[in-house]
Structure 1
Amino acid sequence: MTNRQQNAAWQAAQQWQERARQARPSQGAGGLKLLATWLLFGVMMIVGTLLGLFFLLIGWAMLPFLRHRMKKRAETFRADHAQPAGGNGTQDNTRSPDDKHSSRVLEGDYRVKPDD
């Protein structure tokens, strides 16, 4: 016997190779399975791409409606926060409507009228 046949690692490798040969499926079935797997993968990629394009087109079609709604919301916001026409810009928008006893300071030049 040679050293290779007596080496435990060499024998283990030979046994592993033999088990791998026995566990390997026949080539015909493996080729068909591989082809079917690739075809299934290709079909799934095509379906995924088509679904992505479909949702992209739906998103683009919804953009004008979304833009219209956002413009309406901005107009409402501007109208709610607008200063009254002819006002001097001293309105305090931070007060709550039911805050009746808070004092507001009006800025400007004041003169005291003499009593007549």
Structure 2
Amino acid sequence: MTNRQQNAAWQAAQQWRERARQARPSQGASGLKLLATWLLFGAMMIVGTLLGLFFLIIGWAMLPFLRHRMKKRAEAFRADHARPAGGNGAQDASAQDTTHASQVLEGDYHVKSGD
């Protein structure tokens, strides 16, 4: 035993054990703290689950309104980009928006000779 007490590593381990024993909280308080922590955690989990379900139901309730709005936008987009039925190509081209790249400029064109 005297050999162990003189060993520096043995003394350091004993000091570490003593510090750990002193830092340990009393057993009575830790049981109550543990119970309170679990109860608080459980209550927060329940509240979070209820909030999640609430927002899920609200999202599901809003889906028909969102679908109706998107359908109206799609109809307006199709109406804006629709070509009129019938008529010839010149009228179709002039009826389109001037920013379209497919529009052809009308006029007289001459082919240059290859000289």
Q: In the alignment, which residue of structure 2 is the partner of 1:96?
A: 99
How many residues of Structure 1 are paired with residues of Structure 2 in the alignment? 101
TM-score normalised over the length of structure 1:
0.78
Structure 2 residue aligned with 1:69 = 69
- RCO higher in structure (CA 8 A, sep ≥6): 1
Within 5 A, what are the aligned runs for 1:3-82? 3-82=3-82
The percentage of aligned residue pairs carrying the same residue is 82
Say if 1:89 and 1:25 are closer, same or farther in 2 by CA, change over 3 A: farther
Structure 2 gaps, min length 5: 108-115
Q: TM-score, normalised by structure 2?
A: 0.78
Q: 3-state DSSP class of the match of 2:71?
A: helix
**Cα 1:89–1:75, aligned 2, differ >3 Å: closer, same or farther?**
farther
RMSD (Å), alpha carbons: 2.2
Question: Secondary structure at 2:46's aligned position in 1?
Answer: helix
Q: Which runs of 5+ in 1 are unaligned?
A: 106-116
